[in-house]
């Protein structure tokens, strides 16, 4: 345990244990779980209207179809499942409970209106077309600015002015501080609506287990929270519901929600006393899985002549869609965006107002990065505007505002503690790797080289990771614990089973938790097996979202390993005739300082009374423990992305020439897995910045609910990332920080700034995503038409300014 770093399992790029089954096609995703004979299949009738009154539902023809068992509407679920209620106490928040199927009124296109229960999936699909629903269309509101205007159609009668949540904050004497600046800048940043779009849509399979219990397989990231939600809404005990997570084909937060379909499938399973299965279609996935972003940041900065940011004032709108989502509510985006806007900078004066606005669109939720990509886009976009205004180099403006190592621990103006980090170091490292200074030296003022506008963009970012109990208590979310857990057991022959309260969707838990357990127990890596994603296997936990597994699960595994390891050393000491201090556990053996040794198997034989050596007096049988870990309130990771782009002057198409990432996620468990997270997250950021957007028309129709129309990045769109690793161990057990979301958080703002820089020579103002060719071509045409009358900004190097 006290060995040199070089032979530590922590920090090794161990190849993944989960790969082989997946590569052979032997993974078991939700639609691959064997179904018992007699399983019923369900399909949903979805609303084609964004806002309408349900006049009548005629399911007679559907019910007459051979193989159809039932057609249920909202009324049929009364008494089976309660309306979805989120137990939260937060000032400024109110959203009504949600019926699992629309009752009387539909509020977004895709909302479930009826569910068909049939003996096969094909029959269920046939039957939904036979359900006749008569609607009276009502006026719909899609745009959040319009939704807040007096007289706008209300999404819910009891949510006046369509505001689910509003909050405000100000540091003391803010107005005075803001007034003190030499220059004031203002910009409105718009971030488009996107979605996580995991390659596997959702699904669930509920199987009766005796007369009053159920095994519920579901493609989720949060099995314990699903169990709790099902139990409380179905009036059952948690002990009667076992939630099992199969292989999950991507989550990204979209599966860290509890959805109406899960309540419905569970309720139908209890009702019909038969297995019930539902697999989501891609269209349903795009219509009904949580959407994300759709934010507007109105940001004002007060800056000194030297480029020091004295104060920031923000008004933030987040489009929450039609319903608050379980269990996070519709507040996380607008509170997170406002809270994280200060990033890695020493900004002491800050005021904001934030709003979560109800509209007749799909409900929003916690997609990878939550509001941090848009918050950093606004913050870093403002840094570039400050640089342009003061004719300074954008890197120099950042340099003057960054939190330095000697400033740590730093507490932001809104109270977020930054204990360790490498903000300035990351910035310099990324600039150096990207050849930033050289690029600036040769970049022409009009940015035009060979028919392409060329620019470079920087994003210094912070990422909130982990999140302990205090963080969730502060948010008022009563049913989100913050703890995670591990149960570690040395089996009688000496192998090690580790049950963690997490569930993976591609993150490599089977490998990384085994590395941690083997390292801290002194076990053979090959002898450690990790099990997860089953409420009956592991103790309670908060599960897998918000870049928390390494921190919370890792801490729990360490804690469990140390406890079991201590007992093993005591037993080994008795066996070896030495004191426990003289025992070292290593590679599945216990060694005494005198050189004698026993194996884990031999120690286990004593612990399980299978040996002629008796259990030492005072010891209990077995070699296992459950450990909970409550991490620090929040652990902040940081990174810098530097992106070089070219924008085709004719068609507005963006090419990413280089993408450099310097990042710091504390102690690295498995560098290969960490790089994989950065690659994947950054690719999603590229999609978000350049092509992805869920588009609603003015009637509330989602016009691109297919993968033909909702563009995802392909291998042709994503560059090779150049990555630099820094390690500032966190204050948590093991020193880990999260890294799951950093890629997307850093990529979006860096790309926006790079494109903005490329088009700065022609005076175009890039302030929104996605930056599709049509948008950029419009900017280029508009700008070049009036170029003669536009003064060209000149970017001076720091040397020139000095």
Which residues make up the interface to other proteins (CB under 8 A)?
Answer: 15-16, 18-20, 22-29, 31-32, 122, 126, 197-201, 247-252, 281-282, 505-508, 672-673, 675-676, 678-684, 706-708, 712, 714-716, 718-721, 743
Please report how close the Cβ of residue 711 comes to other proteins at its closest, in angstroms.
Answer: 10
The smaller minimum CB distance to other proteins, of residues 200 and 262, is found at 200
Residue in the structure block whose two tokens are 């890695």:
344
**Residue 336 half-sphere exposure toward CB, CA atoms < 13 A:** 31
Helix H or strand E segment including 1: none
Instruction: Provide the minimum distance between the beta carbon of 44 and other proteins in the complex, in angstroms, as a whole number.
Output: 15
In the complex with other proteins, the residue whose CB is nearer, 29 or 608, is 29
Structure tokens at 44: 């949903």
H/E segment holding residue 421: none
Measured from the CB of residue 752, what is the shortest distance to other proteins in angstroms?
19
628 C-beta neighbours (distance < 10 Å), count: 19
Other Cβ atoms closer than 10 A to 462: 27
685 close to 643: Cβ distance less than 8 angstroms: no
In this structure, the strands spanning 183-195 and 291-303 are: antiparallel
Spell out a b/e string for 364-389, using b for 16 or more CB atoms within 10 Å of the CB, else e: bbbbbbbbbbbbbbbbbbbbbbbbbb
Distance CA 731, CA 113 (A): 49
Is residue 291 within 8 Å of residue 50, measured between CB atoms?
Answer: no
Instruction: Note the helical H segments in 486-599.
Output: 509-521, 554-576
Shortest spacing between CB 517 and other proteins, in angstroms: 21
Which tokens is 784 given?
A: 């070049």
Half-sphere exposure for 495 (CA within 13 Å, toward CB):
6
CB crowding 254-285: b at 16 or more within 10 Å, else e: bbbbbbbbbbbbbbbbbbbebbbbbbbeeebb
Q: Which is nearer to other proteins, 716 or 791 (CB)?
A: 716
Give me the residue label for tokens 């790079």: 754
- CB nearer other proteins, residue 128 or residue 267: 128
Closer CB to other proteins, 250 or 773, in the complex: 250
Smallest gap from Cβ 718 to other proteins, in A, equals: 5
The nearer residue to other proteins, 249 or 631, going by C-beta atoms, is 249
Helix (H, G, I), strand (E, B) or coil at 475: coil
Whichever of 88 and 546 has its CB closer to other proteins, that residue is 546
CB of 26 to other proteins, least distance (A): 7
**Of 184 and 679, CB closest to other proteins:** 679
> Which among 443, 460, 450, 431 has a CA at the least distance from the CA of 760?
443
The residue length of the chain stands at 802
Q: Are 360 and 322 in contact (CB under 8 A)?
A: yes
Provide the minimum distance between the beta carbon of 7 and other proteins in the complex, in angstroms, as a whole number: 22
- Cβ atoms of 295 and 316 within 8 Å: the answer is yes
Q: Which is nearer to other proteins, 103 or 125 (CB)?
A: 125
CB of 514 to other proteins, least distance (A): 16
Which residue's CB is nearer to other proteins, number 273 or number 720?
720
CB of 195 to other proteins, least distance (A): 11
Rounded to a whole number of angstroms, the minimum distance from the CB of residue 212 to other proteins is 30
We find the least distance from the C-beta atom of residue 19 to other proteins, in angstroms, to be: 5
> What is the smallest separation between the CB atom of 680 and other proteins, expressed in angstroms?
5
Say if residues 72 and 114 touch (Cβ distance below 8 Å).
yes
> Taking a C-beta distance cutoff of 8 angstroms, is the pair 115, 44 a contact?
yes
Distance CA 134, CA 575 (A): 79
Nearer to other proteins among residue 531 and residue 712 (C-beta): 712
701 in Cβ contact with 760 (< 8 Å): no
Instruction: Report the distance separating Cα 335 and Cα 316, nearest Å.
Output: 9
User: Considering the complex, what minimum distance in angstroms separates the CB of residue 606 from other proteins?
Assistant: 36
Residue whose CB is less far from other proteins, 119 or 563: 119
Closest to other proteins by CB, 282 vs 346, is 282
Q: Considering beta carbons, is residue 570 or 679 the nearer one to other proteins? A: 679
163-170 and 349-358: which strand pairing? antiparallel
| Best CA proximity match to 484, nearest among 469, 462, 465 | 469
- The residue among 370 and 561 lying less far from other proteins, judged by its C-beta, is 370
In the complex, the smallest distance separating the C-beta of residue 129 from other proteins, rounded to whole angstroms, is 12
Q: Least CB distance from residue 485 to other proteins, whole Å? A: 24
Q: How many CB atoms lie within 10 A of CB 144?
A: 23
For residue 551, the minimal CB distance to other proteins (Å) is: 19
Query: Is the distance from CB of 608 to CB of 489 less than 8 angstroms?
Result: no
Cα(674)–Cα(428) distance, rounded to whole angstroms? Answer: 21
State whether residue 23 is helix, strand or coil: helix
Read out DSSP for 100-144? SS--SEE-STT-EEEEEEESSHHHHHHHHTT-EEEEEE------H
Considering the complex, state which of residue 22 and residue 185 has its C-beta at the smaller distance from other proteins. Answer: 22
Joined together, the tokens standing for residue 248 give 């999950």
Residues 6+ apart with CB under 8 A from 260: 84, 98, 100, 101, 112
Cis, peptide link before residue 409, omega less than 30° from 0: yes
Strands (E), 509-648: 528-531, 583-586, 589-592, 597-599, 624-629, 635-648
Q: Which is nearer to other proteins, 280 or 626 (CB)?
A: 280
What is the nearest approach in angstroms of other proteins to the Cβ of residue 249? 3
**Which of 199, 695 has the CB closer to other proteins?**
199
Q: Rounded to the nearest whole angstrom, what is the least distance from the CB of residue 190 to other proteins in the complex? A: 24
Phi and psi at 774, nearest 5°, equal -60, -40
Q: How far is CA 740 from CA 5, 89, 425, 673, in A?
A: 24, 28, 21, 10
């Amino acid at each position: 345990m006290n060995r040199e770093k070089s032979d530590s399992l922590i920090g090794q790029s161990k190849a993944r244990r989960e790969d082989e089954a997946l590569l052979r096609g032997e993974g078991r995703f939700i639609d691959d779980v064997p179904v018992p004979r007699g399983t019923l299949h369900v399909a949903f009738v979805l609303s084609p209207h964004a806002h309408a009154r349900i006049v009548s539902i005629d399911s007679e023809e559907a019910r007459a179809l051979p193989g159809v068992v039932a057609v249920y509407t909202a009324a049929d679920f009364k008494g089976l499942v309660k309306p979805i209620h989120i137990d939260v106490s937060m000032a400024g928040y109110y959203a009504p409970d949600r019926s699992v199927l629309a009752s009387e009124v539909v509020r977004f296109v895709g909302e479930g209106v009826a569910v068909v229960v049939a003996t096969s999936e094909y029959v269920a699909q046939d039957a939904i077309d036979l359900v006749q629903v008569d609607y009276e269309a009502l006026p719909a509101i899609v745009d959040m600015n319009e939704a807040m205007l007096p007289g706008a159609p209300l999404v819910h009668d009891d949510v006046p002015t369509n505001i689910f949540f509003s909050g405000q904050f100000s540091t003391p004497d803010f107005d005075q501080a803001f007034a003190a600046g030499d220059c004031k800048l203002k910009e409105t940043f718009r971030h488009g609506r996107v979605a996580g779009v995991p390659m596997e849509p959702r699904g669930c399979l509920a199987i009766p287990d005796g007369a009053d219990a159920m095994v519920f397989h579901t493609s989720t990231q949060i099995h314990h929270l699903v169990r709790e939600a099902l139990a409380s809404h179905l009036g059952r005990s948690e002990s009667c519901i076992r939630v099992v997570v199969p292989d999950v084909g991507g989550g990204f937060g979209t599966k860290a929600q509890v959805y109406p379909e899960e309540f419905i499938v569970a309720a139908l399973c209890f009702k019909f006393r038969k297995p019930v299965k539902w697999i989501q279609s891609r269209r349903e996935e795009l219509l009904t899985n949580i959407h994300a972003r759709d934010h507007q940041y109105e940001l004002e900065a007060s800056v000194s002549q030297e480029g020091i940011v004295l104060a920031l004032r923000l008004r933030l709108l987040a489009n929450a869609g039609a319903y608050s989502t379980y269990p996070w509510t519709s507040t996380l985006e607008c509170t997170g965006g406002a809270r994280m806007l200060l990033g890695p900078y020493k900004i002491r004066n800050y005021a904001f107002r934030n709003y979560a606005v109800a509209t007749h669109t799909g409900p929003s939720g916690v997609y990878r990065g939550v509001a941090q990509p848009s918050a950093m886009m606004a913050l870093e976009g403002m840094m570039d505007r400050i640089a342009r205004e003061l004719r300074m180099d954008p890197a120099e403006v950042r340099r003057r505002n960054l939190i330095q190592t000697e400033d740590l621990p730093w507490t932001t103006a809104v109270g977020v503690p930054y204990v360790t980090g490498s903000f300035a170091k990351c910035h310099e490292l990324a600039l150096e790797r990207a050849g930033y200074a050289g690029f600036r030296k040769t970049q022409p003022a009009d940015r035009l080289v060979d028919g392409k506008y060329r620019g470079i963009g920087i994003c210094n970012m912070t990422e909130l990771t982990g999140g302990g109990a205090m963080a969730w208590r502060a948010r008022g979310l009563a049913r989100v614990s913050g703890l995670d857990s591990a149960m570690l057991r040395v089996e009688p022959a000496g192998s090690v089973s580790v049950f963690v309260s997490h569930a993976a969707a591609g993150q490599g838990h089977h490998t990384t938790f085994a590395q941690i357990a083997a390292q801290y127990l002194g076990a053979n890596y090959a002898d450690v097996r990790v099990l997860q994603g089953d409420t009956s296997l592991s103790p309670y936990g908060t599960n897998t979202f918000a870049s928390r597994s390494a921190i919370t699960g890792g801490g729990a595994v360490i804690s469990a390993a140390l406890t079991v390891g201590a007992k093993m050393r005591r037993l080994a000491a008795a066996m070896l005739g030495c004191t426990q201090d003289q025992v070292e556990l290593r590679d599945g053996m216990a060694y005494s300082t005198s050189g004698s040794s026993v194996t884990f198997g031999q120690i286990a034989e004593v612990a399980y009374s299978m040996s002629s050596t008796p259990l030492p007096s005072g010891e209990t049988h077995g070699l296992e423990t459950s450990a909970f870990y409550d991490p620090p309130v929040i652990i902040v990771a940081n990174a810098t992305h530097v992106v070089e782009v070219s924008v085709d002057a004719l068609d507005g198409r963006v090419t990413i020439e280089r993408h450099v990432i310097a990042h710091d996620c504390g102690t690295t468990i498995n560098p290969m897995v960490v790089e994989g997270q950065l690659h994947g997250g950054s690719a999603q950021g590229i999609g978000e910045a350049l092509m992805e957007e869920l588009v609603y028309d003015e009637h509330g129709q989602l016009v691109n609910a297919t993968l033909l129309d909702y563009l995802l990045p392909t291998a042709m769109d994503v560059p090779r990332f150049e990555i630099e690793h820094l390690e500032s161990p966190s204050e948590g057990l093991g020193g880990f920080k999260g890294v799951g979301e950093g890629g997307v958080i850093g990529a979006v703002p860096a790309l926006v700034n790079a494109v903005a820089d490329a088009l700065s020579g022609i005076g175009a103002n890039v302030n929104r995503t996605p930056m599709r060719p049509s948008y950029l071509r419009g900017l280029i045409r508009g700008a070049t038409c009036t170029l003669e009358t536009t003064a060209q900004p000149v970017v001076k190097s720091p040397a020139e300014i000095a």
